[in-house]
Amino acid sequence: MFRWPKPAGSPSTVAREEPSRRDDSAALNVVKRLSRSISTVGKDAAEVRGALEDTQRVVQAQGQAMQALAQQLDHIGQAQAAIATATAESAAAVQRARGALGTVGSEVSGMATTLAQVSEAAAEITKISLQTRLVAFNAAVEAKHAGDAGRGFAVVAEAVKALAGQVEASSKAIVTAIATLQDRIDRFSAELTENAARPSQIHAAFHEVEEDVQRISRSAAESGQQMSVLNERAHELEREVLQATHGLKVAFDGSDRFLRMSEELVEQIAESGVEVDDMAFIRAAQEAAGEVAALLEGALRDGQISEADLFDENYRPIEGTSPQQHTTRFCALTDRVLPSVQEKMLGFSDKVVFCIAADRNGYIATHNRKYCQPQRPGDTVWNTANSRYRRIFNDRTGLASARNTRPFLLQTYRRDMGGGRFVVLKEVAAPITVAGRHWGGLRMAFNF
């Protein structure tokens, strides 16, 4: 704090000191206005940083989606190549089948020719049998004229006549059967023989199969070309997303440095002794940190908890919680002793949003009562805003406040209230030291 010099000496000396006091007062007012302006700039920087975080998340999601799309396009391209290969093999198989069909057709034609020869031979046999019957008839007539001398010859002639009749009947049956078979073979041969003017059903079916295979091949080729274009475009978009991500990171880092610079300027002004607007909150947080440290040291001294349990870092997940909650061995103690300090600080100013003690890893065992509502299963948005206890806040602000060992740390940030709602807050943190060890930090957030 500035201490004004006491008036001393002659009236002329007092007169000389009056302008100095006015200069000091003007300088203080300038510094205070500067502090407010820097604070406002810090708020804007926090909002910009938050907007960049949102955009960064969207771009990252788009990048992941583009990577997934590129992979899918690669898979589709591989499938198209497989289809092209399969259609080419199908076309070759159809050609081989048609070749085999032609071979079968040639064999069938040969069979038809052979059957025709058999039929001709059977016809000749019929003629011979007719001639044989005629000769046998004449022989029988001559044998009858010869009387008893030709009786034996007549018997032979009758036997030859009968045999000739049987041969004639058999040869006629063969001719009839061959004619029927020939007709069937002719029809089958016509089916197997390719005729452009009157295509058979078999060749028409082969032709349709060939056309279908060709259509599939053409479609696969066109699809492959389109997939190649899409794949190239997807990779271009992926590169553009990566470039955008890099640009966002540069902007994000810049806004982060700008935000930190504004916070440090306000801290330096406060540390200089100038009574800036945040000074009351800084002192209140430091006092609350001292009270929390005293309560924890008292519990340690009275044997309510061991030092190992008080500094427990074995955060055990609570099953079925979203956002994830954890428990430690000092939760029961903090639930018992911290509300007396934390709830009291909520009444320090209507600007105070929360006042909590975090261990050095950002773990909040006990929050303000209004944020210690039991979680609702499956309602992550509501839980994010109302069930903030038993959680680890290891983000930039949370860890910086929890691990700060300076007299105080002043930060500006956007707080996620769940459901896409955010508020810009200031937060002052003061270290909590227990038994000579840094236990964590007292975090007090307040509105602008």
CATH number corresponding to 278-448:
3.30.450.20
Judged against a pLDDT cut of 70, whether residue 8 lies above it is answered with no
Q: Is 118 within 8 Å of 177 (Cβ atoms)?
A: no
Which range has the worst mean pLDDT, 82-91, 108-117, 136-145, 246-255?
Answer: 246-255
Q: Is 216 within 8 Å of 87 (Cβ atoms)?
A: yes
Q: What is the pLDDT of residue 69?
A: 64
Q: Is 108 within 8 Å of 192 (Cβ atoms)?
A: yes
On average, the pLDDT of the chain sits at 77
- 356: burial class by Cβ within 10 Å (0-12, 13-18, 19+)? buried
Radius of gyration of the chain, Cα coordinates, nearest whole angstrom: 53
Which band of pLDDT confidence, cut at 50, 70 and 90, is reported for residue 398? very high
3-state secondary structure of 437: strand
Q: What is the pLDDT of residue 26?
A: 61
Predicted structure pTM score: 0.54
Q: What is the pLDDT of residue 10?
A: 47
Judged against a pLDDT cut of 90, whether residue 391 lies above it is answered with yes
Which band of pLDDT confidence, cut at 50, 70 and 90, is reported for residue 14? very low
- 2: burial class by Cβ within 10 Å (0-12, 13-18, 19+)? exposed
Compare 41 and 106 and report the one with higher pLDDT.
Answer: 106
pLDDT tens, 221-251?
776 677 677 677 767 777 777 776 766 666 6
Q: What is the pLDDT of residue 275?
A: 65
The token duo for 160 is 């030859």
Beta bridge partners of 426: 412, 446
Which range has the worst mean pLDDT, 214-223, 284-293, 359-368?
Answer: 214-223
Taking Cα atoms as reference points, which of 97, 104, 110 lies closest to residue 192? 104
Q: What is the pLDDT of residue 323?
A: 96
The ranges assigned to domains in the chain are: 17-276, 278-448
Is 17-276 assigned to CATH 1.10.238.10?
no
Q: What is the pLDDT of residue 3?
A: 39
- How far is it, in rounded angstroms, from Cα 377 to Cα 373? 12
Beta bridge partners of 392: 363
Q: Is 409 within 8 Å of 394 (Cβ atoms)?
A: no
